[in-house]
Structure 1
């Protein structure tokens, strides 16, 4: 409650100030810089996500398997750059191919015992961290104008937010004090927030500053005397430029507005609103398991999140906070502070498990003729996951030409999901 009250008082104080004084920050035109380390992560997790979605689809199937004919048109849906059949055959540690019981020429795929074992571990993580999942979903709804979102809008975000498959049937009904399934006027099924939780209305940026304890900057922020500063990790060479430093110093002097505070009285064309948008995008990406999501997914929430029509320019305008990638024929935005040396700074248990899942995909280490998983394999799998978590690789950033400046970023270059 104190967090929310302090933040509201802070916003009111500075909002009145900026209503009286017109202030325009001179924004610097920056080139896009390619980050090979983050591009590699996005490339890797595209296959990881596709394999996970196929695993869930096989589990949902009444027959316990999928046919080539069923998955033939799923390539774009899964975000793949190769045919689905080829993808399934690439990972025999997870997907066992066999002929259809009636049509021998029709390839079919079911889960190997290894994949089933990994799935059972995944379900256990969902169960053990259910409270964390409920908080994430609540916070997403709390940032929306109507506190309501169609279930269809949640579907593409399930992987990013770490939601179990069919969460609307298995998870939501267990928490009626938080959520309610309702029908919109057009008949669409929606998820609605029932009760506002003051404890959840604290952003990741506020929490990270609060962890510093009695840090003078955070104390001054709570008193409404100072704005919180976003962590910045500029591409090589940018941070030392005087014009960039001056711009960011002015930007940081603007008050920080929590994404959980009503912003309807803020001038939509003001610098204050731009900083509020940066805060909303920062918070949303902080809620994701891998600190990233596709730009299209955010665009579908634009109106509910009170974002401007061209909000995606924010990603290239603030390269110290966000990274925009064009890997895998789509556009992905990443929160830079979430990664260090090519790895998540504070990985969620589900992210650690997905690393284990990816290892099985890549190496086939645990694959035994029929996909059997022996006791010694379980130990080996855990050790591999620990070893991988400890590895670090240096980040390599390469500057490109002017053709990817923020004013020239396409707003329609997404692959349809």
Structure 2
């Protein structure tokens, strides 16, 4: 019996050393697995109540997004006006609609001069607020990226509905998560009604709610993102990758303490088979313990796939809760996600702790998306404008004023010299025409320098 225990311990140690799916920086090679066979320690399930370990890379990401979320509220308020500019007194009056007081609204706008521009109206002689040229270009960039992302968004919406029971989801739940999924605001008309070969809109008489129903289940789309990662590892490792058939990528946050019981429980959980999120489980008997374990791991795979379908590989916990009934997710979602901190990260930053943002850890490195897309880059452009220092904006305005004054002086000197030469050497129309050409060339050169300088500052 002792020889058998010794062999099992060596086998587990070798497996953990060779496995790329568990974080290695906290692995102890001298760890002994003989405790598995001790009495009073037969349970090897993952503990349900885990303390949340902070990861500052994700929290800093949410601190920036907290500012951009407030900036977007003011942007929408300004763009809703007729001339896309709003008087400061009216802005202070409407600030309560977006959760600001009168004095907070003016102070907030002054913090971001690269996004908001304050000017004096030439006729009314009162202060107005409008968006800067950089902010308008960012909005246009995001609009073009959203239009280019439409075909991919249709595919992702189909996959999202394929994970639900009965192949349908409530329209209101999809509308709430439309920004995370990369869907336009009018997706009901531009996506659902535009593609009748994929979707149909139905009204439920019993609940009086609208549902998006999938016309046909497509087996070609029933492939999870984690399966593609496993296939890549299979190609790299060959037959040595047989132990990752049901495994997930694990990367625990810094400072996460892994006990010996937790390590063995994670080793067993990684090898537990489960049903795919796209597989219909209504015909299975789910009363056994083995079936419950499979359903628990299937919930992890469902949330993993849901995050993979989003644009930024993140979504709020409250929006995931809207799909809980339709996708057979557990009731206590926060405790369930904290149970798997090596796969997901739950951040409470960004809205005074009222919202919980769930990140897919394998998709990020040092707070940045590993494989960014155009829509993600367009949204991060606004974050870059928010992070620019107000001091730099003042320097830019001074440089622009200096260039304009210098241009006026140079143009005055060129004009005076041209008039004197024309009076002294006036001989005909050819010479005058040549002088005009030289003046135009010089003027065009100065103008091109200023334009290039402005573009560089932008």
TM norm structure 2: 0.66
In the TM superposition, what is the alpha-carbon distance from 1:366 to its structure 2 partner?
Answer: 7.6
For residue 333 of structure 1, the aligned residue among 355, 358, 375 is 358
Alignment match, 1:180: 200
Indicate the residue corresponding to 2:112 in structure 1. Answer: 91
> How far is the alpha carbon of 1:267 from its aligned partner?
2.4
Gaps of 5+ in 2: 1-41, 401-449
Deviations 1:36-67 (A, max 9, x none): 11111111122224434553554455664564
Other-structure match for 2:429? none
Matching of residues 187-226 of structure 1 within 5 Å: 187-212=208-233, 214=235
Q: After superposition, where does 1:91-110 map in structure 2 within 5 Å?
A: 91-97=112-118, 109-110=129-130
Query: What's 1:323 paired with?
Result: 345
Q: How far apart, CA to CA, are the structure 2 residues paired with 1:188 and 1:218?
A: 51
CA distance in 2, matches of 1:218, 1:116: 54
Corresponding residue for 1:34?
54
Give, in whole Å, the separation in 2 of the partners of 1:195 and 1:379.
51
Does structure 1 conserve the Cα–Cα contact (< 8 Å) formed by 2:277 and 2:301?
A: yes
1:229 aligns with 2:220: no
Query: 1:267 aligned to 280, 286, 290, which one?
Result: 286
Q: CA 1:161–1:246 in 2, change beyond 3 Å: closer, same or farther?
A: same
- In structure 2, the partner of 1:165 is 185
Q: 2:316 aligns with which of 285, 294, 299?
A: 294
Shift of 1:162: 2.0
Q: Which residue of 2 aligns with 1:357?
A: 382
1:248 aligns with 2:266: yes
What does residue 73 of structure 1 align with?
97
CA contact (8 A) 1:217 1:228 kept: no
Q: Which protein shows a greater Rg? A: 2
Q: How far, CA to CA, are the matches of 1:218 and 1:124 in structure 2?
A: 45
Q: Name the Cα RMSD after superposition.
A: 3.7
Give distance in 1, aligned partners of 2:304 and 2:239. 18
* Structure 2: distance between partners of 1:68 and 1:102: 21
Instruction: State the structure with bigger RCO (CA 8 A, min sep 6), 1 or 2.
Output: 1
Q: Aligned equivalents of 2:266 and 2:238: distance in 1? A: 17
Structure 1 residues 292 and 96 mapped into 2: Cα distance closer, same or farther (>3 Å)?
A: same
Question: Of 298, 310, 331, which residue of structure 1 is paired with 2:332?
Answer: 310
Equivalent pairs, count: 350
Residues 72 and 83, structure 1, Cα contact 8 Å, conserved in 2: no
Query: Are 1:343 and 2:361 matched, yes or no?
Result: no
Which of 164, 173, 186 aligns to 1:153? It is 173
SS in 2 for 1:333: strand
CA distance change for structure 1 residues 100 and 378 in 2, over 3 Å: closer, same or farther? closer
What are the Cα deviations for residues 208-248 of structure 1, in whole angstroms up to 9, with x where unaligned?
22234635679987xxx973211001133547532222011
Q: SS state of the match for residue 308, structure 1?
A: coil
Q: Contact 1:323–1:335 at 8 Å: present in 2 too? A: yes
Residue of structure 2 equivalent to 1:277? 299
Aligned 8 A contact 1:150 1:191 in 2: yes
Q: SS in structure 2 opposite 1:73?
A: helix
Give the C-alpha shift of residue 317 in structure 1: 0.7
Equivalent position SS for 1:146 = helix
Q: Give, in whole Å, the separation in 2 of the partners of 1:246 and 1:51.
A: 47
Greater share of helix residues, 1 or 2?
2
Q: Equivalent residue for 1:400?
A: none
Is the contact between residue 44 and residue 264 of structure 2 (CA under 8 Å) also seen in structure 1?
no
